[in-house]
């Protein structure tokens, strides 16, 4: 078995860029987590990345994620000590030591959460996640698709508050119980989800997504350095598809049941002049229509990037007049299975559409 | 109503006298290193023989000055004071201290001692932790002993509840008489690091702001003008100088903003695109209800991330001084800048500039036209086409609507703007376009803005409450309450927060009141 490989400071920077793209409009900006990682690396911390295939079947892996409202996260800034505490609480509760730490979600700020914990707890990060992108709900994971147990869960607040959800009857119940606790402590908390064995991670995780995000970030950085089109570079490297290029004509947002939902309308530019694109989002981009006909749906990754700078654009920062390119990147195969589509297909987001991949 | 507007730029100090909404007189003089001399000279020229009501300069009702002084100080890293930082919010946000992610050179000048203390609030107004008042007092004593003159205070969620910052300020005033204070809630918006960054920049600029405002006041006195003095702000409004000098960061972008406001006034348009072609760059902006549309995201100033009222501008590397190159064809971004009068060909220099191309094309009558007579016609045509394409792209990027909109062209190089542009209904030229910025300063009104999260209220009620708070703020800044009107309302529902949480931003504007 290969030892975990050290991750350089430059790779952490690339990871933040790649993770933001894989956030498909949601997942929260990795900026503050990146600042934390820079500080930790300056203080001498080094995190290493473990290939999930090198996990022993009975190794135990901590699955971490930040929970709460992105706006609160702008005031109560993410802190490595809190996420480390959620992991330690879980170890105390189950009475076993974790071999390594992984994220539930590679898209957005959560990609860096296991790194923050790993830097303090001196454990490697597993090169994997359970979404391969970002999704708004807890049951939208490969672990849920594989019907793995969703409890226990530990939740740590920055004060001396800690909650353990020992059991939950379903993913929905787990979401309700943990969400309630999260709101009480100020709508921001670090969580450690149900521990996973090495065997479960290998069989039910989405593998090598951390290194994929690092590579994606490096692709964008290299293109920028060479004054090449970063979007072109992303499409090439990830075998993605350019769905539309245009400018945002209108954005409508609303929150329902705690999610940022809305639509954005685009007018075509360049080869798409005269055509229109419509995007619907629920935290992340969920469906896209070209000239009124469905063109792309979740779980295919729908990424919106600034046409000029190549920066990924989040659903919260969509704005009139932005020049954007809409890209599709392939989704992890597990999400495309009939069971996967039940959890993360268009119907799971309330769209009466059949999933049809753009990569057929 | 008789008003004087002054724009103190890096190169020129422009001044206009406005009477009954009409530009009576306009002057342009070089900016002087001491500022005062330049303004005194400009005011002298302006009032010389001008028909001022009452016959004496003292009848001027108000003087509005816009300056890029404070931005330049940050960008050029000069005239900044070291600042002590107090962060209130522990145990939250402990891992990212004040000054995190500042450029090293700026941090080396501004970064003083950092104090992290318990306190702050939750998003719903509950206290996060009780304020550590003993800690604040200890910090204050340390600040006094170490000799800091300026302190920035930022508490978690202070825009929702400023009480921790206010209490800390009281203690600091007790312990450190005469200390200069900047409290982050004065700078509005949610986003702790960005708000704190703005607070610390502001604290570093207070000394310069005080000196600059005094210099402005001295210049007025020296010119025999007794009118109240206002400083113009990023959003195109003014605040009484004694209020404004406490918040210099609010004057960061007053230059381009004043140009756009001036363009609106001179053209009589309230909704239009504005293109301001200067010597090195062209600013493209969008007027909505007579005000520049605001940028909604993070704005970097001198490499520091901030988040506050700034106009949404697109800066293009194209101006009258842009260098033009043939084979391969290139226009800008390099420019001869303020040395245009010696370097451009029409002025006897050796550099081929956008101005030379404009003269050769017959768009502009400047300098010695014969000196560009030998330029190949094809180069002139291609260079002009390139400039038009750059402007076209810039204008199109700033448009927010598919409908055709009018475009107002201002600035010294506005002849470079073609008469027809796609998506533009007409190109409007205005009188006094070269001093549009000073006109923008002269016509400025007073504003108030609130950006807060409301819970458990209906949308209408939340907006009404935000409006009342904004009106109170405007009145404090010198507005006549009877003239206040809403210019902007924005509401954004917040994901993952219970109780119909709604973030509401309201901006009101009114005429200056009698002081």
Q: Considering chain B, what percentage of its residues have pLDDT values greater than 90?
A: 50
Query: Which pLDDT score, from 0 to 100, does residue B231 have?
Result: 92
Which is nearest to B40 in space by CA: B228, B238, B215, B229? B215
C-beta separation of B310 from B256 below 8 A: no
- Count of CB pairs separated by less than 8 Å, A with B: 111
Cross-chain residue pair B397–A323, CB shorter than 8 Å: yes
For residue B259, give every residue at least 6 positions away whose Cβ sits within 8 Å of its Cβ, in sequence order, or none: B274, B276, B283, B410, B411, B436, B437, B440
Structure tokens at A272: 């798409």
Query: What ipTM was reported for this prediction?
Result: 0.92
Q: Are the C-beta atoms of residues A161 and A152 closer than 8 Å to each other?
A: no
Instruction: Assess whether pLDDT exceeds 50 at residue B283.
Output: yes
In the prediction, which pLDDT does B49 show?
60
Residues of chain A with Cβ-Cβ distance to B100 below 8 Å are 35, 39
pLDDT tops 70 at residue B241: yes
Distance CA B308, CA A311 (A): 21
Which pLDDT belongs to residue B50?
A: 52
| Bridge partners, B303 (sequence order) | none
Using one digit for the tens of pLDDT, what is the confidence trace for B170-229? 999 999 999 999 999 988 778 999 999 999 999 999 999 999 999 999 999 988 888 889
Token pair of A53 as six digits? 């295939």
User: Are the CB atoms for A310 and A220 separated by under 8 Å?
Assistant: yes
User: Under DSSP, is residue B393 helix (H, G, I), strand (E, B) or coil?
Assistant: helix
Considering only CB atoms, which chain B residues are within 8 Å of A35? 96, 100-101
Residue of A nearest to B398 (CA): A321
CB B71 within 8 A of CB B208: no
At B143, list the tokens: 């600040």
Position B211 scores a pLDDT of: 93
Residue B51: Cβ within 10 Å count: 10
Find the CB nearest B192 among A75, A267, A283. A75
Helix (H, G, I), strand (E, B) or coil at B413: coil
| Closest residue to A159, CB basis, from B91, B193, B492 | B91
Best interface-test mutation with B: which of A65, A75, A252, A283 has the largest number of B CBs within 10 A? A75
Q: How far apart are CA B468 and CA A306, in angstroms?
A: 37
Q: Is A216 in contact with A290 (CB distance < 8 Å)?
A: no
Token digits for B459? 């949308």
Strands B229-232 and B62-67 turn out to be parallel
B191 interaction partners in chain A (CB closer than 8 Å): 74-75
CA distances from B398 to B287, B306, B395, B405, B491 (A): 10, 22, 5, 11, 22
Residue numbers in B near A253 (CB within 8 A): 492-493
Within 8 A of A186 by CB-CB distance, chain B residues are 122-124, 126, 128
CB neighbour list of residue B389: distance below 8 Å, 6 or more residues apart: none
What's the length of chain B?
515
Calpha distance B298→B285 (Å, rounded): 17
| pLDDT grade for B58, boundaries at 50, 70 and 90 | very low
Query: Hey, of B87, B161, B495, B503, which one would you mutate to test binding to chain A, going by the most A CBs within 10 A of its CB?
Result: B495
A279/B300 Cα distance (integer angstroms): 29
Mean of per-residue pLDDT scores for chain A: 94
Instruction: Answer whether the bond into residue A34 is a cis peptide, omega within 30°.
Output: no
Cα–chain-centroid distance for residue B391?
23
Find the CB nearest A76 among B101, B156, B399: B156
Strand ranges across the sheet with A100-103: A5-7, A47-50, A125-126, A100-103, A60-68, A188-197, A153-156, A162-165
| DSSP assignment string, B216-282 | HHHHHHHTT--S-EEEE-TTSBEEEHHHHTT-GGGGTTHHHHHHHHHHHHHHT-SSEEEEEE-SS-E
- Rounded CA separation B452/B491 (Å): 10
DSSP assignment letter at B198: H
| Segment (H or E) for A96 | none
> Best interface-test mutation with A: which of B90, B91, B93, B95 has the largest number of A CBs within 10 A?
B95
Residue B440: closest CA among B233, B282, B221, B218: B233
- Length of chain A, please? 360
> Average of pLDDT values for B70-84?
90
Whether the CB-CB separation of B187 and B199 falls below 8 Å is answered with yes
Over residues B466-492, the pLDDT tens digits come to 999 999 988 887 788 999 998 878 777
Say how far apart CA B482 and CA B463 lie, in whole Å: 19
How far does the CA of residue A320 sit from the closest CA of chain B (Å)?
5
- The pLDDT tens digits of the residues spanning A342-355 come to 999 999 999 999 99
The per-residue pLDDT for B205 is 96
* Chain B residues near residue A321 by CB distance under 8 angstroms: 397-400
Q: Which residue has the higher pLDDT, A1 or A16?
A: A16
Confidence category of residue B459, pLDDT binned at 50, 70, 90:
confident
Measured between alpha carbons, how far apart are the two ends of chain B, in Å? Answer: 14
Two tokens at A339?
Answer: 């069971």
Within a 10 A sphere around the Cβ of A39, how many other Cβ atoms?
A: 17
Of the candidates A163, A129, A156, A153, the residue with the CA atom closest to the CA atom of residue A143: A129
* Residue A9: partners with Cβ closer than 8 Å, 6 or more residues away: A38, A41
Using alpha carbons only, what angle is made at residue B53 by residues B48 and B55, rounded to the nearest 5 degrees? 55
Instruction: Write down the pTM of the prediction.
Output: 0.87
Which chain A residues touch B93 with a CB distance below 8 Å? 75-77, 79
Give the pairing of strands A125-126 and A47-50. parallel
Angle in degrees, CA B184, B478, B6, rounded to 5: 95
Tens digit of each residue's pLDDT (9 = 90 or more) over B331-360? 988 888 777 888 999 999 999 999 999 999
Residues ≥6 apart with Cβ < 8 Å to B55: none
pLDDT > 80? residue B496: no
pLDDT, tens digit, 9 for 90 and up, residues B284-343? 999 988 888 877 667 888 889 987 767 888 888 888 889 999 888 999 888 887 778 889
Greater confidence, A227 or B25? B25
Closest CA to A31 of A305, A228, A311, A259: A311
Q: How far apart are the first and last CA of chain A?
A: 36
What is the phi/psi pair of residue A339, to 5°?
Answer: -65, -40
Interatomic CA distance for residues A349 and B6, integer angstroms: 56
Helix (H, G, I), strand (E, B) or coil at A46: coil
Q: What secondary structure does DSSP assign to B214-233, as a single string?
A: HHHHHHHHHTT--S-EEEE-
How many other CB atoms are found less than 10 A from the CB of residue B145? 9
pLDDT confidence band for A143 (50 / 70 / 90): very high
- Helix %, strand %, coil % of chain B (to 5): 35, 30, 35
Strands B229-232 and B238-240, by their bridges, are: antiparallel
Query: How, if at all, do strands B322-325 and B330-335 pair?
Result: antiparallel
Q: Cα dihedral sign for B246, B248, B249, B254? A: positive
Beta bridge partners of A251: A264
- Kindly report, residue by residue over B366-419, the tens digit of the pLDDT: 889 999 999 999 999 999 999 999 999 888 878 766 688 999 999 888 889 999
Distance from CA of B215 to the nearest CA of A (A): 38
Helix (H) or strand (E) run with residue B409 in it: strand B405-410
Decide if B128 contacts B164 (C-beta within 8 A).
no
């Amino acid at each position: 078995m290969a030892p975990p490989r050290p991750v350089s400071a430059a790779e952490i920077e690339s990871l933040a860029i790649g993770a933001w793209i894989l956030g498909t409009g949601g997942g929260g900006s990795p900026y503050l987590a990146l600042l934390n990682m820079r500080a930790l690396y300056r203080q001498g911390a080094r995190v290493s990345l473990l290939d999930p295939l090198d996990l022993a079947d009975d190794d135990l892996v901590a699955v971490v994620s930040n929970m709460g409202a992105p706006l609160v996260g702008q005031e109560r800034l993410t802190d490595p000590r809190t996420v480390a505490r959620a992991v330690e609480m879980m170890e105390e509760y189950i009475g076993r030591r974790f071999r390594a730490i992984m994220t539930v979600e590679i898209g957005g700020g959560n990609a860096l959460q296991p790194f923050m914990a790993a830097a303090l707890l001196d454990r490697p990060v597993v090169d994997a996640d359970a979404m391969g992108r970002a999704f708004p709900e807890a049951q939208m994971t490969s672990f849920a698709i594989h019907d793995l147990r969703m409890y226990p869960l530990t939740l740590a607040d920055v004060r001396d508050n800690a909650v353990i959800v020992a059991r939950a009857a379903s993913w929905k119940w787990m979401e309700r119980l943990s969400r309630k606790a999260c709101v009480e402590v100020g709508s921001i908390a670090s969580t450690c989800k149900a521990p996973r064995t090495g065997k479960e991670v290998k069989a039910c995780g989405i593998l090598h997504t951390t290194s994929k995000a690092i590579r994606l970030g490096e692709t964008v950085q290299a293109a920028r350095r060479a004054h090449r089109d970063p979007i072109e570079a992303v499409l090439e490297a990830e075998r993605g598809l350019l769905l539309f290029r245009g400018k945002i004509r209108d954005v409508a947002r609303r929150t329902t049941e705690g999610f940022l939902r809305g639509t954005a309308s685009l007018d075509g530019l360049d080869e798409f002049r005269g055509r229109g694109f419509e995007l619907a989002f629920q935290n992340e981009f969920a469906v896209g229509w070209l000239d009124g006909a469905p063109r792309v749906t979740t779980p295919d990754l729908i990424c919106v990037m600034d046409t000029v700078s190549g920066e990924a654009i989040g659903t919260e920062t969509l704005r009139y007049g932005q020049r954007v390119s809409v890209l599709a990147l392939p989704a992890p195969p597990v999400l495309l299975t009939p069971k996967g589509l039940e959890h993360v297909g268009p119907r799971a987001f309330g769209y009466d559409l059949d999933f049809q991949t753009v990569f057929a | 109503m008789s008003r004087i507007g002054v724009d103190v730029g890096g190169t020129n100090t422009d001044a206009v006298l406005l009477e009954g909404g009409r530009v009576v007189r306009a002057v342009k003089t070089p900016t002087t290193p001491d500022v005062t001399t330049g303004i005194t000279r400009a005011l002298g020229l302006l009032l010389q023989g001008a028909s001022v009501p009452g016959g004496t300069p003292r009848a001027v009702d108000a003087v509005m000055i816009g300056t890029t002084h404070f931005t330049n100080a940050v960008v050029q890293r000069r005239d900044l004071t070291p600042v002590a930082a107090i962060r209130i919010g522990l145990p939250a946000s402990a891992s990212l201290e004040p000054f995190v992610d500042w450029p090293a050179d700026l941090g080396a000048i501004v970064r003083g001692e950092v104090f992290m203390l318990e306190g702050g609030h939750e998003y719903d107004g509950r206290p996060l932790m009780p304020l550590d008042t003993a800690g604040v007092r200890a910090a204050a004593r340390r600040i006094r002993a170490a000799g800091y003159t300026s302190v920035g205070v930022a508490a978690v969620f202070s825009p929702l509840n400023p009480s921790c910052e206010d209490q800390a300020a009281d203690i600091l005033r007790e312990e450190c008489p005469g200390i200069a204070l900047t409290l982050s809630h004065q700078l509005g918006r949610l986003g702790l690091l960005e708000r704190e960054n703005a607070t610390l920049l502001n604290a570093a600029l207070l000394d310069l702001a005080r000196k600059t405002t005094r210099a402005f006041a001295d210049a007025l006195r020296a010119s025999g003008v007794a009118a109240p003095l206002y400083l113009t702000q990023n959003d195109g409004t003014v605040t009484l100088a004694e209020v404004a000098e406490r918040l210099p960061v609010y004057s960061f972008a007053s230059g381009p903003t004043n140009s756009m406001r001036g363009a609106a006034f001179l053209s009589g348009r309230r909704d239009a695109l504005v293109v301001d072609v200067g010597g090195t760059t062209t600013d493209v902006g969008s007027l909505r209800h007579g005000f520049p549309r605001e940028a909604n995201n993070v704005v970097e100033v001198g490499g520091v991330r901030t988040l506050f009222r700034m106009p949404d501008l697109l800066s293009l590397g194209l101006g009258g001084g842009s260098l033009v190159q043939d084979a391969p064809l290139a226009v800008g971004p390099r420019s001869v800048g303020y040395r245009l009068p010696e370097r451009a060909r029409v002025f006897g220099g050796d550099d081929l500039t956008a101005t030379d191309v404009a003269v050769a094309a017959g768009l502009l009558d400047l300098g010695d036209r014969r000196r560009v007579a030998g330029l190949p016609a094809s180069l002139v045509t291609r260079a002009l086409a390139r400039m038009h394409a750059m402007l076209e792209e810039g204008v199109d990027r700033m448009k927010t609507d598919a409908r055709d909109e009018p475009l107002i062209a201002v600035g010294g190089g506005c002849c470079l703007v073609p008469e027809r542009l796609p998506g533009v209904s007409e190109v409007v030229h205005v009188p006094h376009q070269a001093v549009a910025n000073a006109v923008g300063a002269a016509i400025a009104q007073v504003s108030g803005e609130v950006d807060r999260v409301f819970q458990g209220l209906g949308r209408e009620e939340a907006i009404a409450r935000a409006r009342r708070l904004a009106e109170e703020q405007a009145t404090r800044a010198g507005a006549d309450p009877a003239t206040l009107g809403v210019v902007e309302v924005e509401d954004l529902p917040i994901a993952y927060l219970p109780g119909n949480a709604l973030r509401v931003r309201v901006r009101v504007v009114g005429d200056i009141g009698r002081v």
